[in-house]
């Protein structure tokens, strides 16, 4: 399919889009916590993918390449909108009473807010692991860091998330 895409086969492009649109959009959404931003980033990701097919190394896994572009674009977007710094933990509490916090919808929003409160390098590994279902090896490939670093970063991310959620009363 990749070869067909390289040759400008529109149907093949559409097939790739069908396969990767949702995970890319979800990765961007979890990184940015904004549907409009995630939509724009998803568009940019596919534009870059389609424009740079020639530079794709076929010895690598295609999804690794696409996810790497998606995460980089999300981080760039955060930089452009000056939201690279984590939100203050207090923001997690905003408008949420302890009763509301146990409500499932708010629980999900609370988890997402907690995710936004940790640094992007930690959020990235959480997104790869929990929303894109990547293994340690795949994460290492995508982020181009040793597997050992992936593990320690994931552990730190989880500790920070745990603390952020505890701060909101969500356990």
Binding residues for another protein (CB under 8 A):
5, 7-10, 13-14, 17-18, 21-22, 25-26, 29, 35, 38-39, 42-43, 46-47, 50-51, 107-108, 111-112, 126, 129-131, 135-136, 151, 154-155, 158, 161-162, 165, 171
CB of 126 to another protein, least distance (A): 7
d(CA 109, CA 159): 19
CB of 42 to another protein, least distance (A): 6
CB of 79 to another protein, least distance (A): 23
CB of 57 to another protein, least distance (A): 20
Pair of tokens at residue 135: 């293994």
Cβ-contact 6, 54 below 8 angstroms: yes
Q: Which is nearer to another protein, 18 or 82 (CB)?
A: 18
Q: Which is nearer to another protein, 80 or 162 (CB)?
A: 162
Question: DSSP code of 88?
Answer: P
Q: Which is nearer to another protein, 36 or 59 (CB)?
A: 36
d(CA 4, CA 14): 11
CB of 48 to another protein, least distance (A): 10
CB neighbour class for 5 (10 Å; exposed up to 12, middle 13-18, buried from 19): buried
Closest by CA to 59, choosing from 136, 2, 137, is: 2
Q: What are phi and psi of 59, to 5 degrees?
A: -75, -15
């Amino acid at each position: 399919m990749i070869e067909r895409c390289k040759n400008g086969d529109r149907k093949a492009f559409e097939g790739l889009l069908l396969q990767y649109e949702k995970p890319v959009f979800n990765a961007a959404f979890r990184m940015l916590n904004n549907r409009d931003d995630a939509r724009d980033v998803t568009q940019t990701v596919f534009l870059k993918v389609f424009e740079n097919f020639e530079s794709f190394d076929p010895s690598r896994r295609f999804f690794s390449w696409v996810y790497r572009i998606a995460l980089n674009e999300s981080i760039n977007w955060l930089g452009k909108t000056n939201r690279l710094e984590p939100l203050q933990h207090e923001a997690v509490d905003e408008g949420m009473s302890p009763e509301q916090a146990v409500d499932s919808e708010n629980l999900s929003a609370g988890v997402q807010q907690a995710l936004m409160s940790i640094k992007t390098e930690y959020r990235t590994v959480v997104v790869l692991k929990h929303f894109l279902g990547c293994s340690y090896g795949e994460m290492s490939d995508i982020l181009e860091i040793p597997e050992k670093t992936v593990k320690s970063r994931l552990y730190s991310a989880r500790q920070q998330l745990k603390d952020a959620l505890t701060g909101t009363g969500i356990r």
